[in-house]
Structure 1
Amino acid sequence: MNGRVFGRSKTMEDFPTEDEGVFYSKAEHYWKEVPPTVDGMLGGYGSISSIDISGSKKFLQKFLGEGKGKTRPGCALDCGAGIGRITKRLLLPLFRTVDLVDVTHEFLEKARSYLGEEGKRVENYFCCGLQDFQPQPERYDIIWIQWVIGHLTDDHLVEFLRRCRGALRPEGLIVIKDNVAYEGVVPDEVDSSVCRDLQILHRLVARAGLVIVHEEQQQNFPEEIYQVHTLALR
């Protein structure tokens, strides 16, 4: 994530298909140069980690429990997991087992030590870009996707969300938490990502055959960074 919020609004059509490979390879190169620390994962904003986790926990607890419509505390998937910041502080305290997926091998290696004793409940470390990742059908109660959808083209995001839908257990939930642009699509040439506005994100979610069951804006983040929204999907 980062604090660059200004730039010409674009659509993903401005990024030709033949540039997809460059779009992904530039992102992989960028993240290989990022230190495997919480501050590195948060683009220099490591100080907001506790606020972020607290807001995510309050959001998620609305859905956990017993009974109709409630999500069971079984297995969670952390997408774009990095060194496991979200796994360590949000998912492992709430779920019995967790899987991590990230494109950067060095981050996943760091996660094995960063997660400590509780990391024994991590079942899989998948080193893979989300555009290629194939989650196991009907495995997950929660699929948590945070600060990573900007690294996927529109079509690949839709396809990934469709695969995630098939990977949910009954009453399972997909959660997207990410930066939201004020209008259009704002590209970030530094880390080779884009930031979409809410209308575009809503449209892509609908294309994937998912429904937004709850949405909130994260509060108490620094004013200079993008607004961040959390969406629960089924």
Structure 2
Amino acid sequence: MANCMMTENKFYKKAACYWANVPATIDGVLGGFGYISDIDINGSRDFLNKIGALDRHPDCKLALDCGAGIGRVTKNLLISRFEKVDLVEQNEKFINTAKQLIGEDNACLGTVYKIGIQHFKPQKRYDIIWCQWVLGHLNDYDLIEFLERCGEMLADNGVIVVKENINTFAELEYDDDDSSVTRSCSLLQKIFNEAQLSIILCDVQTNFPEDIYPVYMFALVPVKRV
């Protein structure tokens, strides 16, 4: 795991340093793949529609965007579906850009938390907690604890959505550039189990370039609700 390759402190600090040098643009936060943003949002919208069609579907009152970056997902997906959207992002440059893109006077923009998600403790009950391309920046132990905290702070019928790159091999793959890991489906399933979460929906993002990782979407709820 990541904290076997370097100390936990260095693992997180190196990631923060990497993102501090990334431009606060769609192309920047998507690693040069800005052109896939609309395709990504369309796939996420379809997945949210499937969640909304469940018998026990979440309300559309309050969402949380974890590792929100410049607010790309909030602005283009969540804010049109929820009364309020809170954001969690540790990079101040990204936060400032997100507020500009979304509009600080936008009534749907909720609380913006400047903190790394490994330290974030939800204080509200959320209908949707959206985690996209951020969980690879947590080691296994912090990820399990983060997901446990999120599971405890879901509203009635609330859902955690995880959208992440998937490693098609069994091993964990470490990226030294941005200090992140890419997990396999089996490793993620093990982590979800440890966090007492069950997968109620799973889908694969389509129409992405063939030379990038497969991207999976998981809808998770506490085991006790299944």
One of 40, 45, 53 as aligned partner of 1:57: 45
Shift of 1:216: 0.7
Structure 2 residues without counterparts, runs of 5 or longer = 222-226
Report the CA distance between 1:17 and its aligned residue. 8.4
Alpha carbons 1:112, 1:119 under 8 Å: kept: no
The two structures have a TM-score, normalised by structure 1, of 0.90
CA distance in 2, matches of 1:73, 1:118: 20
User: How many angstroms does 1:55 deviate by?
Assistant: 0.5
- What TM-score comes out, normalization by structure 2 length? 0.94
Describe how 1:153-232 pairs up with structure 2 within 5 A: 153-183=139-169, 184-232=171-219
Pairs within 5 Å for 1:94-109 = 94-109=81-96
User: CA-atom RMSD, angstroms?
Assistant: 1.5
Q: 1:70 to 1:26 in 2, by over 3 A?
A: same
Aligned partners of 2:126, 2:105: CA distance in 1, in Å?
Answer: 19
Gaps in structure 1 of 5+ consecutive residues: 1-11
What's the CA shift for 1:63?
Answer: 1.9
Partner of 2:24: 36
Q: SS of the counterpart of 1:62?
A: helix
Q: How many residues align?
A: 220
What residue in structure 1 maps to residue 66 of structure 2? 79
Instruction: Measure, in 2, the Cα distance between the counterparts of 1:156 and 1:176.
Output: 15
Shift of 1:157: 0.3
Structure 1 runs of 4+ with >2 Å offset: 14-18, 116-120
Q: Does 1:23 align with 2:11?
A: yes
Distance across 1 between alignment mates of 2:177 and 2:195: 28
Deviations along 1:107-145, one digit per CA (max 9) or x if unpaired, are 0111111113773311111011111000114x2000000
Per the TM alignment, residue 15 of structure 1 is displaced from its structure 2 partner at its CA by 3.3
**Which range is displaced more, 72-81 or 116-125?**
116-125
> Tell me, what secondary structure is at the counterpart of 1:206?
helix
Where 2:80 maps in the other structure, the secondary structure is coil
